Structure 1
Amino acid sequence: MEEGARHAVHALKYGGLPRIADDLAAAMTGTRPPSDGPSALVPIPLAPKRLRERGYNQSDMLARALARQWRIPVLADLLVRMRETPTQTTLTPETRLANVAGAFTAGTAARWATLVLVDDVFTTGATLAEAARALEAAGARRLYGVTFARAAIPDFT
């Protein structure tokens, strides 16, 4: 991830600046909705404790900003984080997968829907993949993912 993107994501997540989500979404202007017309955007949910600490969900803020551009709804309550998970930032790719395994569940409103998952950063894809599994189990027809940034996978060797 480039330094400017790193600072922007840090400001959104930890700097108490949810208003910059509109700027980040505007920077994603090359991102277009899938051609098969998604039903809605679904932000990756935070665990309740982290949401209370931060006061907002950065993925929800990004999803709402993208929704204004794409003119489709946000289903913020469709996907639920069932348990607290440690932050992924210091985990290896293998432990990231285990960390989020079974962390999400989805409501039946996902049935037959084409949905776009929204998160701030893609590192290994573990979070998006696990969220997609939950939505697929709830009957989603087609799933996509979009993130503001892609991080380099850390080398833990």
Structure 2
Amino acid sequence: MTPFAEALAGAERWLLPGACLTCGASVGPADPLICPLCQSRWRRLPEPQCARCGQPRPGDPDPCRFCAPWPPALDRARSAVWLDATAREAVHALKYAGWWRVAEVLAVPMVRLGMVTSETVLVPIPLNPKRRRRRGYNQADVLARALAARTGAPVDTVALGRTRATPTQTALTPEARRANVAGAFAAAGVRGARVVLVDDVLTTGATLAEAATTLAEAGAASVGAVTFARALPPVH
């Protein structure tokens, strides 16, 4: 975090919105920035799920088609909720509007997934350097610290870095996403570590998969991933 971003994090507790960031209902200074009603509207991913990637797969044959393109390095991934309109507003409040305390709320269902313990090392997905400078912080860092506060897991923000800037993944196909992030990371200091990658949203898993490969090549004993939300499946 930059010094300016650290200052904003401290000031945020005094510059409260006074209303739920999702629905606008009144909230007090000590209340979560997303009200309990809006949190209750987040849609958890239903069972049964793929044991590896957590994708709901009612009646799907083996192997899971969602994680079939992933490299072996990414052992397991889980997401807390679907990225519907309500969850998207929460992500945007953290990611673009600078409401850091939202991470405290998003971390609650993420912890329930059971991916993070005091024995795992939390490694946030690094942000494109230009975007980080413009935004002043990395939302994955903030989420990782919120998870650490609830689990006692250490956070390592320097284990994984970007080797180059990459265009946004938003409009890319799954194949283009994988090509876009190929060779985009470098890792160090993780030999023997049980790493859990942290990010806000899982779409195809291309970024997480490339990061996991890089960490495994650097000696990580295992690499999993946890995100707050998962992109909704396409409607056919």
Tell me the TM-score normalized by structure 2: 0.62
Aligned twin of 1:123 = 203
- SS across alignment from 1:18: coil
Is residue 14–residue 54 contact of structure 1 (8 Å, CA) maintained in 2?
yes
1:52 aligned residue (115, 133, 144): 133
Q: What is residue 4 of structure 1 aligned with on the other side?
A: 86
Higher gyration radius (CA): 2
User: Which residue is 1:67 aligned to?
Assistant: 148
Taking only aligned residues, the RMSD between alpha carbons, in angstroms, comes to 1.8
Cross-structure match for 2:222: 142
Whole-angstrom CA distance in 1 between matches of 2:184 and 2:207:
9
Contact 1:114 1:140 in 2 (8 A): yes
> After the TM superposition, which segments of 4 or more aligned residues of structure 1 sit over 6 Å from their partners?
none
**Count of residues in Structure 1 that have an aligned counterpart in Structure 2:** 154
Per-residue CA deviations over 1:15-53 (Å, capped at 9, x if unaligned) read: 122221111112324222357932x10000012111001
Q: Tell me the amino acid that sits aligned with residue 153 of structure 2.
A: I
Residue type of the alignment partner of 1:2: D
Residue of structure 2 in register with 1:85 after alignment: 166
CA distance in 2, matches of 1:57, 1:35: 22
Deviations for 1:91-142, whole angstroms, at most 9, x for unmatched residues? Answer: 11111111111100001x1101111000100000000000001101100011
Which letter does structure 1 place at the counterpart of 2:193? A
Q: Distance in 2 between matches of 1:88 and 1:135?
A: 21
Any idea what SS the aligned residue of 1:110 has?
coil
Q: Flag structure 1 segments of 5+ consecutive residues without an equivalent.
A: none
> 1:25 touches 1:62 (CA, 8 Å); kept in 2?
yes
- Cross-structure match for 1:112: 192
What SS does the aligned partner of 1:28 have? helix
More helix as a share of residues: 1
Distance (whole Å) between structure 2 residues aligned to residue 130 and residue 148 of structure 1 = 19
**Cα shift readout 1:48-76 (whole Å, capped 9, x = no counterpart):** 11100111100010000001111011001
Counterparts of 1:123 and 1:42 in 2: how far apart (Å)?
18
Q: Is the 8 A contact 1:43 1:119 kept in 2?
A: yes
Q: Distance in 2 between matches of 1:99 and 1:153?
A: 21
User: Contact 1:42–1:78 at 8 Å: present in 2 too?
Assistant: yes
Unaligned runs of 5+ in 2: 1-82
Percent identity between the two aligned chains? 58
Q: Pick closer, same or farther for the CA change 1:10–1:35 going to 2, 3 Å.
A: closer
CA distance in structure 1 between the partners assigned to 2:134 and 2:108 by the alignment: 27
